[in-house]
């Protein structure tokens, strides 16, 4: 069964780091979090599910924070944490 993943786009590495800290503080295990960046749209094609879903939200130099979710409720909670942490955009995907 595919692992549900929540991805958030952050404007800078500092913003992504702050989001990771918030996720950790909320109890998300470190091994479930991946921070990629800074990246551009061309960098993520083929490395994340459906990069086109980010559209124009993926500026050059942005960072993507990906979190493996354990359930549908967990996905929603993680997406909300990312938005509260300043994510420019979030997407829920399956890997």
Q: Could you read off the pLDDT of 22-68 as tens digits, one per residue? A: 999 999 999 999 988 776 555 554 555 555 555 555 666 678 899 99
Question: How many domains would you assign to the chain?
Answer: 1
Show the domain range for 75.
4-94
Q: Are 94 and 5 in contact (CB under 8 A)?
A: yes
CATH code at position 80: 3.30.70.2750
Among 47-51, 68-72, 74-78, 89-93, name the one with the lowest average pLDDT: 47-51
75-77-78 Cα angle (round to 5): 65
> Can you read off the two tokens belonging to residue 41?
């749209």
> Can you spell out the DSSP letters for 2-21?
PPEEEEEEESSHHHHHHHHH
β-strand 33-39 against 4-10: which pairing, if any?
A: unpaired
């Amino acid at each position: 069964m595919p692992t549900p993943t929540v991805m958030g786009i952050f404007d800078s590495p500092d913003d992504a780091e702050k989001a990771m800290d918030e996720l950790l503080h909320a109890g998300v295990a470190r091994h479930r979090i991946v921070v990629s960046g800074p990246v551009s749209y061309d960098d993520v094609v083929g490395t994340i599910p459906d990069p086109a879903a980010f559209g124009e939200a993926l500026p050059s130099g942005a960072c993507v924070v990906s979190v493996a979710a354990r359930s549908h409720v967990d996905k929603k909670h993680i997406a909300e944490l990312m938005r509260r942490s300043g994510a420019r955009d979030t997407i829920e995907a399956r890997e």
